[in-house]
């Protein structure tokens, strides 16, 4: 078995390649293809929870695999209105549930996400201004677009409203070819394409704006409004692959899994309390600084102040400093949980010299590493 530091480095040295290898594993490939092919067909929470393969895939992607059995609980999460602070998901301390709810739009499926709507309105205003339209005319056109768009339930509804089509195509500077009838056929093929699929109709168009046009809307292959946008589906699949990598690594070495987890969660750490609230993050910090797990019994503010005194939290946003921190963690983990080749591997990695035994001096040097420029 490889040592913790070497195993971690092998996985993260080229994460893109690691993700591709994982995605190509037969079981992972089948699961991902099924998810991408079928999530667009789902129109309700009942359908989603009723398809175990879809539901279990999403739960794993968001780190909630151990809660897959709790469908009644997860139904409440998915039915939550995240704009309401008092909603079920928002009242849960574990933010993974909010992230899960955000990944879907069962409560209010929308033809366009807020970001997509903002973007198309900006594009329209810029194009209309170039063409000499007045601000009041542009504003009226945009208000009319928003009002009509809110009534759209299918791609046919959208295409039946010439005002919507004109606004959208003008915003993206595209003009469908052919007669009026052929234009609608062309636009329907564009709007029901998966822009994330390089072989889709939209992606294969010579004019790149058509792919952007398809991306701006949220229609499934069968023309219904999706409960998850194409971008959200891509994000879910990426998260599933990352979770799979961490899980497989953990089967061999829990220290590697913890390091990968900390690396993934680092951008979300805003304070010492973020670490204290997550047992896995706390375990990494405790191991890195040689703290006993019993230190967690101390007053919460005392623990937070100690972490801040040891770790420059801002340094976690610096990839090089984060790498340095996790190099220290993996070495300290290995010293406490030696693999069969650990002693030689860690000594070689840290000191550049091969040794059959990690000396006390080496361990002391690890403990003395300063992080975050301190």
- DSSP 3-state of 107: coil
| Mean pLDDT value across residues 246-265 | 95
Q: Is the per-residue pLDDT at 323 higher than 50?
A: yes
Q: What is the pLDDT of residue 246?
A: 95
pLDDT digits (tens, 9 = 90+) for 175-213: 988 777 789 999 999 999 988 888 999 999 999 999 999
> Contact 334/346 with Cβ under 8 angstroms?
yes
- At residue 152, the 3 state secondary structure works out as coil
Residue 141 has pLDDT above 80, yes or no: yes
How sure is the predictor about 340, in pLDDT bands with cuts at 50, 70 and 90? low
Per-residue model confidence (pLDDT) at position 231: 86
Q: What integer pLDDT is reported at residue 360 of this predicted model?
A: 41
At 146 the pLDDT is 95
pLDDT for position 354: 41
Q: Tell whether the model's pLDDT for residue 28 goes beyond 80.
A: yes
DSSP designation for 154: B
* Range of weakest confidence among 39-43, 58-62, 165-169: 39-43
Higher per-residue confidence, 255 vs 298: 255
Q: What's the chain's average pLDDT?
A: 88
pLDDT in tens, 274-297: 999 899 999 999 999 988 777 767
Which of helix, strand or coil describes residue 264?
Answer: helix
Judged against a pLDDT cut of 90, whether residue 372 lies above it is answered with no
- Determine contact, residues 26/365, Cβ cutoff 8 Å: no
**Rounded Cα–Cα distance for residues 294 and 272 (Å):** 17
Angle between helix axes 15-24 and 230-252 (nearest 10 degrees) is 90
Confidence of residue 357 (pLDDT cuts 50, 70, 90): very low
Taking alpha carbons only, the member of 329, 371, 370 closest to residue 346 is 329
Distance CA(263)–CA(261), nearest Å, equals 5
Q: How confident is the model at residue 135 (pLDDT cuts 50, 70, 90)?
A: very high
Predicted local distance difference test score (pLDDT) of residue 275: 93
User: Is the model's pLDDT at 366 over the cut of 90?
Assistant: no
Could you tell me the pTM of the whole model? 0.78
Q: How far apart are CA 301 and CA 298, in angstroms?
A: 8
Contact yes or no for 337/306 (Cβ under 8 A): no
- Which domains can be identified in the chain, with CATH numbers? 4-106+229-233 (1.10.3700.10), 114-215 (no CATH), 254-367 (1.10.3700.10)
């Amino acid at each position: 078995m490889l040592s913790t530091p070497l195993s971690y480095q092998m996985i993260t040295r080229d994460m893109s390649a690691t993700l591709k290898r994982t995605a190509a594993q037969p079981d992972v490939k089948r699961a991902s293809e099924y998810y991408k092919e079928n999530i667009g067909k789902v129109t309700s929470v009942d359908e989603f929870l009723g398809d175990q393969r879809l539901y279990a895939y999403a739960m794993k992607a968001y780190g909630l695999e151990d809660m897959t059995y709790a469908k009644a609980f997860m139904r409440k999460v998915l039915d939550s209105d995240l704009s309401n602070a008092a909603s079920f998901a928002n009242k849960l301390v574990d933010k993974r549930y909010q992230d899960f709810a955000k990944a879907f739009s069962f409560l209010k499926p929308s033809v366009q996400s807020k970001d997509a709507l903002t973007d198309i309105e900006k594009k329209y205003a810029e194009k209309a201004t170039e063409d000499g339209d007045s601000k009041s005319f542009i504003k009226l056109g945009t208000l009319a677009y928003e009002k009509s768009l809110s009534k759209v339930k299918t791609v046919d509804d959208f295409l039946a409203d010439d005002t919507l089509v004109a606004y959208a195509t003008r915003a993206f500077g595209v003009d469908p070819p052919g007669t009026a009838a052929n234009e609608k056929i062309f636009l329907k093929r564009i709007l029901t394409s998966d822009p994330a699929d390089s072989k889709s109709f939209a992606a294969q168009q010579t004019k790149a704006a058509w792919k952007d046009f398809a991306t701006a809307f949220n229609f499934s292959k069968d023309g219904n409004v999706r409960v998850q946008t194409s971008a959200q589906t891509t994000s879910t699949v990426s998260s599933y692959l990352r979770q799979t990598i961490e899980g497989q690594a953990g089967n061999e070495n829990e220290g590697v899994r913890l390091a990968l987890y900390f690396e993934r969660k680092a951008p979300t750490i805003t304070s010492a309390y973020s670490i204290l609230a997550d047992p896995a993050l706390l375990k990494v910090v405790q191991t890195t600084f040689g703290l006993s797990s019993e230190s967690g019994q101390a007053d919460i503010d005392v623990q937070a102040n100690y972490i801040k005194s040891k770790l420059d939290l801002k340094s976690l946003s610096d990839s090089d400093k984060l790498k340095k921190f996790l190099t220290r963690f993996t070495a300290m983990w290995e010293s406490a949980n030696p693999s069969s080749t650990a002693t030689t591997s860690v000594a070689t990695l840290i000191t550049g010299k091969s040794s059959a035994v990690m000396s006390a001096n080496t361990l002391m040097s690890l403990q003395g590493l300063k992080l975050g420029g301190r």
